[in-house]
Structure 1
Amino acid sequence: MTEHGIPDGIPADLFTAFDDYERAILSNDVDTLDAFFAPGPQTLRGDAAGLLVGHDAISAFRGLRGGVPSRSIERVEYRPLGPDAALLVSVSRYAGGGTGLQTQLWQRIDGRWLITAAHVTPRAAAFDRSVWRTVGDPLWQGAWEGPLAGLTVAVKDVFAIKGYRIGAGNPAYLDSARAETTTAPAVSDLLRGGASLRGIARTDEFAYSIAGDNVHYGTPPNGAVPGALPGGSSSGPASAVAAGQADVALATDTAGSVRVPASYQGLWGLRTTHGLVPRQGLLPLAQSFDTVGWLTRDGATLQRVVDWCLSYDGSDSTESVLGESATDLPWRLLVPDEALAACEPATRAAFDALLTRLAARDDAPRLTRISLGDLDAYYEPFRTVQAAEAWRNNGAWLREHPGAVGPAVAERFRLAAAVTAPQEAAARDALDPLREQLTGFVRDAVLILPTVPGPAPLRTARGERVDAVRQATLRMTTPAAIAGLPAVSVPLLSVAASRGSAPVGVCLVSRAGTDIALVRLARRLAALVADRSES
């Protein structure tokens, strides 16, 4: 380094470009930052959240990130790679403590020094506040021995934990809540099995969303697709599991809040039979559909959880389903035509290819196409009943705290407040025959369909695009919720997306009470898909 802090040998115009870029970072001058990254689809930027490819993807990321904390550059290492290329590695020291590392490949293009590749190692954070509300190591120690020993759990911020408040993804609600005096049975069962609580993880506000964003705390990262929405409302627990910060997510699913983030982030996710796991100590959204579920990175861990939590030995409160699950489910899969028609073309193609591969095997399941009927016939009455119950559960608090929730959730509650008693009654009547039809389909078979229409939307998606994805997704996820059936999302599809390949789940739905057997069947199917050899 020279006496002026300039690395020895660095071209003056390169150092000027580096210095100008750093000033733009500190002032969050997005236009200048964009101009310093080389145009085109080959430019790279990586960090702990993943790799962004192409100038457009990097620009979109910057538009959402906001500024960085105050820092100064305390060291720069320069390595020439040619007359018009150089590697710069710099160490930054933050005013609030800690250091970070930036590695940049600069190239002179049309007379200007531009960044063609960069990797950022930020200062170590205590924890990601978009993912966690509070976290420990552990926050709560489970039994020292048991079938779940060694597993850590991220608990969605809608479950009661003794001594802690329920926050429901909203700071005003957290401030107004009281510390819980008991722990929810769904939490206690995991602790009794030997799992420990890693922490309380974020939820979309009042669990009334499937996108995974939160205007108060930020959007948790998608562990599979950098820059994409994580899926909600169990966004924080799902992201914690995808990032390896917990082994199990304890979550809820009303209209897809386990299955959607599982699909978006390449996880296993089980929505349990409605009413099977007690909902005491659970902040309700819509009791007619609310149920408990879990997300994991692999099927074996999910099997451990359900084998314990849904058995007499494992649960003090849950009715055992070992009787229903003692025998395997039929190796017969029903494919709903309407669900496939609702998928995006790339998802439909990937799912069709999966079915073709399965059908070609000697040990293939029996595949049958069926018709569920118009998916809007499920979605519309479901939405009405859900809204009516959501307003009954939360309307009084919302009236006392005007302006406390974000715009999207506020709009849903505004519509919910307008649902009349006759409208709710008519919607409930409309759901009854649909429930009977679905129950009949799974009496001696299992439904199979893509979990969601397509891969996770980008975080930059806005307005009509987000709403269209939400409605299309709910049309596919609500049938299982209406019938109260167990449904598991398995990461079996990979679909081309704007930022490379992205996961999409395959959903299996079985008759009520067969949750343990459903996970076994899902693992059998996943093993069959993974085995590309001919039997």
Structure 2
Amino acid sequence: MSAAEHRQVGAAPDQAQSAAPGNPPAELLAAFEAYERAVQDNDLDELDAWFAPGAETMRGDDAGLLVGHEQISDFRSQRGGVARRRIETIEYRPLADGVALLVSTSVFASGGRGLQTQLWQLLPEGWRITAAHVTPRPRAFDSSIWRAVGDPLFQGAWEGPLGGLTVAVKDLFAIRGYRIGAGNPSYLDSAKAETRTAPAVRDLLRGGASLRGIARTDEFAYSIAGDNAHFGTPPNAAVPGALPGGSSSGPASAVAAGQADIGLATDTAGSVRIPASYQGLWGLRTTHDLVPRQGLLPLAQSFDTVGWLTRDGETLQGVADWCLSYESSDSTASAAGQRGDDLPARFLVPTEVLAAASTETAAAFEAFLLGLETGGVLDAPVERVSIGELSGYQEPFRIVQGAEAWRNNRRWLEEHPGATGPAVAQRFAAAARITEAEEQAARDALAPLRARLEQLVGAAVLLFPTAPGAAPSRAADATSIDATRTATLRMTTPAAVAGLPALSVPLLRVPAATGGREAPVGVCLVSRAGSDLALVRLGRRLASAAASAPTSTHPAATGERATKE
């Protein structure tokens, strides 16, 4: 045994030799081995017991830091266990009476090594872990984020305004030589390789960006939570243990994790804006039909819109400037008024939308408005306006969306019964029962909302929180998730109904749903059709004002690109 107090352990924890002098005390070693057995068995009760209770216990890994016993327990309940492994070595360092550091290496049965660092403390109930960090074995890529990934997968033009940037493309867009998977393994198996690349993808490549990979989507884009019954839930880099937001979950997680600079996504009822809000990103839903949808697998054409996700406003501005310009893009027929005409900093807050926000989010938003009013940013005082009772529009929206989703996917779904996850299957089953008369009545019912919004944004910009609150915990029950979905759609569907551009900017901080920290919530700006570029400029103006305000603590509030390491 070395002076460094190195311990060689046998093939499995429960077969380890008794501790020699200089090794961990017998009681500590027994606790470590019992904990490791619980890890291998995925015994959640035992694992909870081995971590010290309270709000100060910590666990970190490559996905982020969890603080508090409750957060750690929620994480384990969703993890599903770990791959089979054996402990190879343990390093022991006594730090004080009843406090010890254990660093162990593990060898996985399927190959690769990992590292575990644990701070143990002797409590009245025995040795317990008070802090832990896990370094997992290297992965080729995270399959919950990516379907296919390269370095790059496709090289863009050698020169262009987007040179040096990488793109994560939602698995709904055609890419020549690849199949569209739509977040469903059976659909991927039945698909044929595409012969052409979608214009929305091609524009980015022509601008110099390279295609990092094809990123996961919620099944058929028919969800807003960010989970996938087949491939798992992508991580939320901003709030470990929370849902990432969907349906553009893969592109958003890739961008938030720094694995791509741009997420090419779609937004039907919030699928760009909600992941942006949950993960502290910038997200632009473009004007409906401004970026054509050729080569895009549709969900509901009346609302489907192309959009982008970035970590900062400068990058988003560059993407929008390129892709929506006359001379550079073959994907847009008109960018009228977008070059020089700025939008006024005249904001209208729709009271019915704000009412759908949580108490904490509404308070953070009101504080943000106060900062605008005292910071000399506004061209006119903020006004409160009514857009009508939103509950009367949700059901018509659901009917139109469902009718189109069923028409688009009926043949495949009938040929592949049971191929979708339970939540998506339930939505398609409801959509299948919609009649033509119900669909037409629903379209008629949405017309007043569209007209009202178009009237309001003629000379002003709507301003409200993007989402009801912070990203829900991955461990939240189905009832809670459904309630969040309902409140979320109340806030996101108006812009979709009117086909207006909507921008989410990460400007609010609220208590995280998982507890013990703050989490981002976006501020949403909605403007008149065709004003996309000016909308991003206005969003950057607000972000700069928020960043310079004395109370601003949000690193994403700067509208500029972070310095690269």
Task: Please indicate the TM-score interval, normalised by the length of the shorter structure.
Answer: over 0.9
Q: CA deviation at 1:361?
A: 2.2
1:156 to 153, 164, 170: 170
- Which amino acid is the alignment partner of residue 123 of structure 2? I
| TM alignment of 1:238-317, pairs within 5 A | 238-317=252-331
Q: CA deviation at 1:513?
A: 0.5
Write out per-residue CA displacement over residues 90-129 of structure 1, whole angstroms, 9 at most, x where no aligned residue. Answer: 1111122221111000111115111011011101100000
Write out per-residue CA displacement over residues 20-61 of structure 1, whole angstroms, 9 at most, x where no aligned residue. Answer: 111211121222111111112211111111111111211111
Q: Partners of 1:50 and 1:151 in 2: how far apart?
A: 24
User: Which segment is superposed worse, 233-242 or 434-443?
Assistant: 434-443
Say which SS state the counterpart of residue 370 (structure 2) adopts: helix
Q: CA deviation at 1:363?
A: 3.5
Instruction: Tell me the residue number matched to 1:107.
Output: 121
Q: Partners of 1:399 and 1:42 in 2: how far apart?
A: 51
Instruction: Tell me the residue number matched to 1:389.
Output: 404
Q: Partners of 1:234 and 1:255 in 2: how far apart?
A: 11
| 8 Å CA contact retained: 2:55, 2:516 | no
Instruction: Tell me the residue number matched to 2:13.
Output: none
- Which amino acid is the alignment partner of residue 60 of structure 1? D
| TM alignment of 1:193-212, pairs within 5 A | 193-212=207-226
| 8 Å CA contact retained: 1:148, 1:190 | yes
Say which SS state the counterpart of residue 447 (structure 1) adopts: strand
Write out per-residue CA displacement over residues 336-386 of structure 1, whole angstroms, 9 at most, x where no aligned residue. Answer: 111111110000000000111111123334211111110112222111100
1:525 to 533, 542, 554: 542
Q: CA deviation at 1:6?
A: 4.5
2:181 to 159, 167, 170: 167
| 8 Å CA contact retained: 1:225, 1:499 | no
| TM alignment of 1:215-254, pairs within 5 A | 215-254=229-268
Say which SS state the counterpart of residue 93 (structure 1) adopts: strand
Write out per-residue CA displacement over residues 475-532 of structure 1, whole angstroms, 9 at most, x where no aligned residue. Answer: 1100000000000000000001224101000000000001011000100111111112
| 8 Å CA contact retained: 2:166, 2:210 | yes
- Which amino acid is the alignment partner of residue 516 of structure 1? L
Structure 1 pair 371–229 and aligned structure 2 pair: CA distance change class (3 A): same
| 8 Å CA contact retained: 2:346, 2:378 | no
Instruction: Tell me the residue number matched to 2:464.
Output: 449
Write out per-residue CA displacement over residues 161-200 of structure 1, whole angstroms, 9 at most, x where no aligned residue. Answer: 0000000000000000000000000000000000000000
Does 1:339 pair with 2:356?
Answer: no
Instruction: Tell me the residue number matched to 1:458.
Output: 473
Q: Partners of 2:433 and 2:172 in 1: how far apart?
A: 25
- Which amino acid is the alignment partner of residue 218 of structure 1? G
Percentage of identical aligned residues: 69
| TM alignment of 1:473-488, pairs within 5 A | 473-488=488-503
| 8 Å CA contact retained: 1:340, 1:348 | yes
Say which SS state the counterpart of residue 337 (structure 2) adopts: helix
Q: CA deviation at 1:262?
A: 0.2
Q: CA deviation at 1:5?
A: 8.1
- Which amino acid is the alignment partner of residue 464 of structure 1? T
- Which amino acid is the alignment partner of residue 455 of structure 2? G
Say which SS state the counterpart of residue 87 (structure 2) adopts: strand
Q: Partners of 2:341 and 2:361 in 1: how far apart?
A: 32
Instruction: Tell me the residue number matched to 2:554.
Output: none
| 8 Å CA contact retained: 2:19, 2:25 | no
The runs of 4+ residues in structure 1 deviating greater than 6 Å are: none
Instruction: Tell me the residue number matched to 2:450.
Output: 435
- Which amino acid is the alignment partner of residue 65 of structure 2? L
Q: Partners of 2:392 and 2:316 in 1: how far apart?
A: 33
| 8 Å CA contact retained: 1:359, 1:365 | no
- Which amino acid is the alignment partner of residue 500 of structure 2? L
Write out per-residue CA displacement over residues 134-179 of structure 1, whole angstroms, 9 at most, x where no aligned residue. Answer: 1000000000100000000000000000000000000000000000
Instruction: Tell me the residue number matched to 1:496.
Output: 511
Instruction: Tell me the residue number matched to 2:527.
Output: 510
- Which amino acid is the alignment partner of residue 525 of structure 1? L
Does 1:400 pair with 2:406?
Answer: no
User: Which segment is superposed worse, 206-215 or 110-119?
Assistant: 110-119
- Which amino acid is the alignment partner of residue 156 of structure 2? G
Instruction: Tell me the residue number matched to 1:380.
Output: 395
Say which SS state the counterpart of residue 133 (structure 2) adopts: strand
| TM alignment of 1:319-334, pairs within 5 A | 319-321=333-335, 323-334=337-348
Write out per-residue CA displacement over residues 389-423 of structure 1, whole angstroms, 9 at most, x where no aligned residue. Answer: 00000111111111100110000001100111110
Aligned residues: 534
Q: Partners of 2:245 and 2:23 in 1: how far apart?
A: 49
> What TM-score results when the alignment is normalised by the length of structure 1?
0.98
1:467 to 475, 482, 485: 482
Write out per-residue CA displacement over residues 255-288 of structure 1, whole angstroms, 9 at most, x where no aligned residue. Answer: 0000000000000000000001010000000000
Does 1:141 pair with 2:155?
Answer: yes
Say which SS state the counterpart of residue 138 (structure 2) adopts: coil
Q: CA deviation at 1:325?
A: 4.1
Say which SS state the counterpart of residue 158 (structure 1) adopts: coil
Q: Partners of 2:216 and 2:277 in 1: how far apart?
A: 18
Q: Partners of 1:14 and 1:61 in 2: how far apart?
A: 25
Tell me, which stretches of 5 or more residues in structure 1 are unaligned? none
| 8 Å CA contact retained: 1:358, 1:365 | no
| 8 Å CA contact retained: 2:238, 2:519 | yes
| 8 Å CA contact retained: 2:18, 2:26 | no
Say which SS state the counterpart of residue 510 (structure 2) adopts: strand
- Which amino acid is the alignment partner of residue 69 of structure 1? A
Q: CA deviation at 1:13?
A: 1.0
Q: CA deviation at 1:9?
A: 3.1
- Give me the CA root mean square deviation: 1.3
| 8 Å CA contact retained: 2:345, 2:377 | no
Q: Partners of 1:279 and 1:49 in 2: how far apart?
A: 34
Instruction: Tell me the residue number matched to 1:131.
Output: 145
Q: Partners of 2:544 and 2:221 in 1: how far apart?
A: 33
Q: Partners of 1:145 and 1:138 in 2: how far apart?
A: 16
Q: CA deviation at 1:313?
A: 2.2
Structure 1 pair 365–528 and aligned structure 2 pair: CA distance change class (3 A): farther
Q: CA deviation at 1:247?
A: 0.2
Does 1:424 pair with 2:444?
Answer: no
| 8 Å CA contact retained: 2:375, 2:545 | no
User: Which segment is superposed worse, 494-503 or 7-16?
Assistant: 7-16
Q: Partners of 1:348 and 1:31 in 2: how far apart?
A: 37
Tell me, which stretches of 5 or more residues in structure 2 are unaligned? 2-6, 9-16, 552-565
| 8 Å CA contact retained: 1:325, 1:515 | no
- Which amino acid is the alignment partner of residue 499 of structure 2? G
Q: Partners of 2:338 and 2:209 in 1: how far apart?
A: 26
